[in-house]
């Protein structure tokens, strides 16, 4: 056991040093997932980057060598989640941190939301969080340490600044799942928290929201800008850290002071 751990407070006794910890990130090939994967690697974690395709993250972060491994995962498919998690465990031996970042957003109001869009949004955004967390939480429990960080949304609390019923409902479900997992696993050294960002500077935002609408949205945010990818990733690092063990069942707003009115 490393001296730093041997001399740590008793509540950290089962937390491996960061260099030995393994973090799994879903939706890691771009945007917030890619930024989070980079931040975790820079902090010293070994990282399993998962997504439907992983060529981009592998190319961008290949400099980290064997501390990064990429795996194909479709979070909406229970069997594929199980298979991918088994591959990660076979490669790294464990998963200590789970970042449920994979998400799907298509702008559609109530009348524009088809049954197909509704179900796809729920499968990716809600079912995926449950499938991955359900698969990994028992191992964390058995080892006496784990961190689950879910990505919810400002829209989960407010419905969003634009009418997005499928997305808002899916992220509301993520918030409820966060509370449930937190309560179930708190006694075993496993925390579960969520981040509720408003607008993060991603390609998803720039591709689907006009420049004029982006300007209108920025005016509503007191800090006058959107969240940077690095700021989002920093928040993940905070909740994933062993010293954040007294925080669980929380939804951390990342909104630049934006309030619903």
Q: What is the CATH number of the domain that holds 155?
A: 3.40.50.720
CA distance 255 to 252: 9
* Residue 13 in this model has a pLDDT that exceeds 80: no
13: phi then psi, degrees, rounded to nearest 5: -60, -30
* Residue 254 in this model has a pLDDT that exceeds 90: no
* Residue 164 in this model has a pLDDT that exceeds 90: no
- In the set 45, 131, 167, 185, the catalytic residue is 167
Which residue carries 């407010």 as its tokens? 158
Is residue 155 domain-resident?
Answer: yes
Is residue 104 domain-resident?
Answer: yes
Q: State how many domains the chain has.
A: 1
For residues 218 and 38, the model is more confident at 38
DSSP at 200: B
pLDDT of residue 8: 62
pLDDT of residue 205: 58
pLDDT band at 3 (very low <50, low <70, confident <90, very high): very low
Reported as type and span, the H/E element at residue 160 is: none
Is residue 3 domain-resident?
Answer: no
Is residue 258 domain-resident?
Answer: no
pTM recorded for the entire structure = 0.90
Which residue carries 């619903």 as its tokens? 260
| 185 labelled catalytic | no
- Percent of the chain at pLDDT above 90? 71
Residues 21-40, mean pLDDT to the nearest whole number: 97
> Which structural domain range is residue 187 located in?
18-253
* Residue 106 in this model has a pLDDT that exceeds 80: yes
Is residue 176 domain-resident?
Answer: yes
CA distance 104 to 253: 20
């Amino acid at each position: 056991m490393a001296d730093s751990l041997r001399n740590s407070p008793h509540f950290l006794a089962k937390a491996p040093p960061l260099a030995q910890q393994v973090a799994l990130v879903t939706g890691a090939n771009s945007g917030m997932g890619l930024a989070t994967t980079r931040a975790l690697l820079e902090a010293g974690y070994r990282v399993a980057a998962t997504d439907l395709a992983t060529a981009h993250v592998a190319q961008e972060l290949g400099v980290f060598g064997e501390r990064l491994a990429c795996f194909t995962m479709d979070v909406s498919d229970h069997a594929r989640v199980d298979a991918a998690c088994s591959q990660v465990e076979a490669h790294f031996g464990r998963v200590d941190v789970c970042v449920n970042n994979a998400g799907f957003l298509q702008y559609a109001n109530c009348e524009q939301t088809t049954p197909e869009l509704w179900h796809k949004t729920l499968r990716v955004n809600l079912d995926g969080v449950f499938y991955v967390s359900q698969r990994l939480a028992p191992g964390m429990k058995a080892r006496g340490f784990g961190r689950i960080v879910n990505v919810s949304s400002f829209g989960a609390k407010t419905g969003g600044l634009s009418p997005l019923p499928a997305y808002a409902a899916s992220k509301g479900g993520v918030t409820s799942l966060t509370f449930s997992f937190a309560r179930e696993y708190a006694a075993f050294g496993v925390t579960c928290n969520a981040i509720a960002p408003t607008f993060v500077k991603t390609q998803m935002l720039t591709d689907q929201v006009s420049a004029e609408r982006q300007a209108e949205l920025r005016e509503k945010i007191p800090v006058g800008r959107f969240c940077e990818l690095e700021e989002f990733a920093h928040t993940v690092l905070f909740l994933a850290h062993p010293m954040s063990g007294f925080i669980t069942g929380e939804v951390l707003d990342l909104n630049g002071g934006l309030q619903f009115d």
